Structures are given as structure tokens and as C-alpha cells.
Amino acid sequence: MADIPTLEPATELAESGPTDKPRKRSRLIPIIAAVVVLVGAGAGGWLFLRHGTAKSKTGQARQVPAGPPLYVSLDPPFVTNFQPNDVARFLQLAVEVMTHDAATVDIIKANDPVIRNNLLLLFSNQKYSDLASAQGKDRLRAEALTAVRQIVAANGGDASSVDAIYFTSFVMQ
């Protein structure tokens, strides 16, 4: 037969592996790029969400109250009757108003009779069955907060400066 030249595998090139390095580098570059993109997207998303939580519903940045909380006690405690069909007949509430603004404290103290009147009317329209649950008490507290904020706003104050209403005593008999 005719001599056909055959090529023998080059053992030197296969063992040294110079073709493997470019292949590893070509795989490594997209992986690094993907990691950098993911880290950047994660950091951007975190900053976006963090910035979004600092805004109120109106889109303006909410101001963090400055200074310690100031409490105004509405003394004496409120005592009111329930509606005649209820088992309990009386409701006694001790109420504290929280703010961080000294000017709001002055407005609350100056308008104490109006605040007490509006809260007394609110409390006297309650039913025992509504106030027996924690949700009912929370609803009453939210309504009392709204009532106090309206009075503060009507007298030249900032309604949002009234931070909370707390019931420090809650007795139903």
C-alpha cells in the first residue's frame, strides 16, 4: 500500500494546556460581569427602597421629631355613661397626648376645655361590645387622635405635631 502520512497527536501541546487558559478566561469574564451587574442592581434597589420608606404618602420627606417626647395629661380622667342597653354602665379613661413640639403643648393646654368636650362626646357614644376587643380600643384611640389634631389645627397649630394619644387607664363597669 501506499504510504499515507499520518499525523501523530502532539503530546507536548496537550499536556501543557496553553489552549485551556483562554477558554477559562473567556468563561470568567461574563461571570464577573454578571456578578458586578447583580451587586450594582441590588445596591441600587436597596437605596431606592430605603429612600422610598423615608417619604410620607404625599411624597415629601417625613421629618423625624426633634427632642424628647412631651406628654400632656388631660386631667381629671374622663367618666361617661354607656348607652342604657349595654351591660356596663360607665367608662372611665385617663388620657395622655404625646407630641415633640413645645408650641403644640401650649395649644393643647390653652384649648383643654374644647378638647375635653369633644373627647367626652366621642367617649359617650361608644358601646361596650365595641370596646371589649383590642381593635375597638385602638379604633377609639385613633378617633381621639383625630379629634385632638382637628382642634390643634383649628387653633393655628400643626395637626401632625400631635404624635399619639395614650389611654393610661381604661375602666368599664
DSSP codes joined into one string, 98-132: EES-HHHHHHHHHTHHHHHHHHHHHHHT--HHHHT
Q: What's the pTM value of the predicted model, to 2 decimals?
A: 0.61
Residue 15's pLDDT is what? 53
DSSP bridge partners of 80:
91
Using the structure block, give the residue that is written with the C-alpha cell 442592581.
41
- Architecture of 70-172 per CATH? 2-Layer Sandwich (3.30)
How many C-beta neighbours within 10 Å does residue 51 have?
10
Instruction: Give me the residues of the chain with pLDDT under 50, please.
Output: 14, 54-59, 61
Residue 122's pLDDT is what? 93
Question: For the CA atoms of 140, 141, 145, 148, what is the dihedral angle to 10 degrees?
Answer: 70
- The vertex-131 CA angle with 129 and 135, nearest 5°, equals 115
Whether the Cβ atoms of residue 144 and residue 95 lie closer than 8 Å to each other: yes
Phi, psi (degrees; rounded to nearest 5) at 133: -100, 160
Give me the sign of the Cα torsion angle 84, 89, 94, 100: negative
Residues 6-18 pLDDT 10s: 766 655 554 555 5
Residue 113's pLDDT is what? 95
